[in-house]
Amino acid sequence: MKILAILYNGFKAAEEEPRLLGTVENKLGLEDWLKSQGHELIVSSDKEGPDSVFQKNIVDAEVLITTPFHPGYLTRELFDKAKNLKICITAGVGSDHIDLNAAVDHKIQVLEVSGSNVVSVAEHVVMSILLLVRNFIPAHEMIERGDWQVSDIARNAFDLENKVIGTIGAGRIGYRVLQRLVPFDPKELIYYDYAPLPAAAAEAVKARRVEDLKEFVSQCDVVTVNCPLHEGTRGLVNDELLSHFKKGAWLVNTARGAICDKDAVARALASGQLAGYSGDVWDVQPAPKDHVWRKAKNPLGGGNGMVPHYSGTTLDAQARYANGVRSILENYLSGKPQEPQNIIIGLGKYETKAYGQR
């Protein structure tokens, strides 16, 4: 059996740190096991264009392993060419880099390691909210420059206490963000999701559901995006929606870059409609050098907390999603049923309600 894995390069770091399992070098820890079973494992980061390792090997691979951190974009056109493909496994959470509707049509299963990095991301979200609200990055940059002017930082630094914080998407990550924010004594926690939280869960964090998105954002001092990318969320945060935000709100997006219109966000930052934008996800990954989010700033020259896509690939998370990929593969090879929570696309149908209302 041919297994193709598209992962990110680890280079020197991966040689020095074997726990960087999600890299080309360390191959999710699968190499010895799969080879001992007589399977062929091809691992590469080369994913763009018809001559890439990805596109050349997808034509006869039976299993495709991809990672959201360095997404191999499996388009409908590539599905048409992938004659042997039976199962796509996402090493992590978030399978929007795969054309899921095409997977349904081609009866190819798509599985994720659900839950594997949700705490990792929730912690990053809370950190990102704090670094924006407290104006941390310009303060640190000032220190490195050798300067010291407290008023230049303090003029745009606030407390999180007594703010209204809202999450778009209150699933595994969104809910964990709400849980972690409770001790900061926010004025209110609110959420926008077509699936209401179970009453006990909502009560535990005292979260109120707002059913209209414009009304929801207009009440928030901080908005955090925690829903999957699908037809219903692509470009959801655009000029129109941003005009309904409170002036000077902070926006954190660790879900997927394409949920926010990149130019609209940059414009909102430049005008001060947003005081800050932070996240680790980009509409194309790796992000081009001239991506507008790399240097977008608010009128005071701060408000940018962007980093490369790593919130869900801490070493703790890598151990969990590498184990998860192995157990999905073991189930596949032995014909055992898969864990239901990991199945995004079953044979010819969506098995999750999280990728849009159908």
**What is the binding site for ligand NAI (CB under 6 A)?**
92-94, 117-118, 121, 168-174, 192-195, 226-229, 232-233, 254-256, 280-281, 309, 311-312, 354, 356
Q: Shortest approach of ligand NAI to residue 77 CB, angstroms?
A: 23
The DSSP call for residue 74 is B
Nearest residue to 305 (alpha-carbon basis) of 220, 233, 224:
224
Is 26 noted as a catalytic residue in this protein? no
Contact 190, 219 (CB under 8 A): yes
Chain residue whose CB lies nearest ligand NAI: 171
Tokens of 313: 């690939």
| Element at 178 (helix H, strand E) | helix 172-181
User: Could you give the angle at the alpha carbon of 22 between the alpha carbons of 17 and 24, nearest 5°?
Assistant: 85
Shortest Cβ 311–ligand NAI spacing (Å): 4
Q: How far is the CB of 172 from ligand NAI (least distance, A)?
A: 3
Q: Considering beta carbons, is residue 169 or 302 the nearer one to ligand NAI?
A: 169
At its nearest, how many Å lie between ligand NAI and the CB of residue 20? 15
**Residue whose CB is less far from ligand NAI, 57 or 116:** 116
Catalytic member of 285, 298, 304, 318: 285
Query: Residue 280: beta bridge partners?
Result: none
Q: Residue 277: enclosing H or E segment and its boundaries?
A: strand 274-279
Cα separation, 103 vs 82, in Å, equals: 11
SS3 57: helix
The partner residues of 279 in beta bridges, in order of sequence, read 253, 306
* Residue 124 marked in a binding site: no
**Residue 113 annotated as binding?**
no
Active-site residue 285, yes or no? Answer: yes
Q: Which is nearer to ligand NAI, 255 or 329 (CB)?
A: 255
Shortest distance, position 64 Cβ to ligand NAI, whole Å: 18
Q: Is 280 marked as binding a ligand?
A: yes
In the bound state with ligand NAI, the residue whose beta carbon lies nearer, of 163 and 309, is 309
Q: Rounded to whole angstroms, how far apart are CA atoms 236 and 242?
A: 10
Catalytically annotated residue among 109, 117, 226, 304? 117
Indicate the residue among 118 and 132 with the shorter CB distance to ligand NAI: 118
Q: Is 309 annotated as a binding residue?
A: yes
Catalytic residue status for 101: no
The tokens for 11 are 């280079």
228 is annotated as contributing to ligand binding = yes
Establish whether 145 is a catalytic residue. Answer: no
Secondary-structure breakdown of the chain: helix, strand, coil percentages, each rounded to the nearest 5: 35, 20, 45
Catalytically annotated residue among 70, 124, 176, 309: 309
Q: Is 117 marked as binding a ligand? A: yes
CB of 74 to ligand NAI, least distance (A): 16
Task: Catalytic residue, from 70, 97, 124, 256: name it.
Answer: 256
Contact 307, 250 (CB under 8 A): no
How far is the C-alpha of 326 from the C-alpha of 3, rounded, in Å? 12
186 annotated as a binding-site residue: no
Q: Which tokens sit at 143?
A: 């220190």
The owner of tokens 């790593």 is 310
Residue with Cβ nearer ligand NAI (45 or 95): 95
Q: Which residues are catalytic?
A: 117, 256, 285, 309
Task: State the binding site for substrate.
Answer: 93, 117
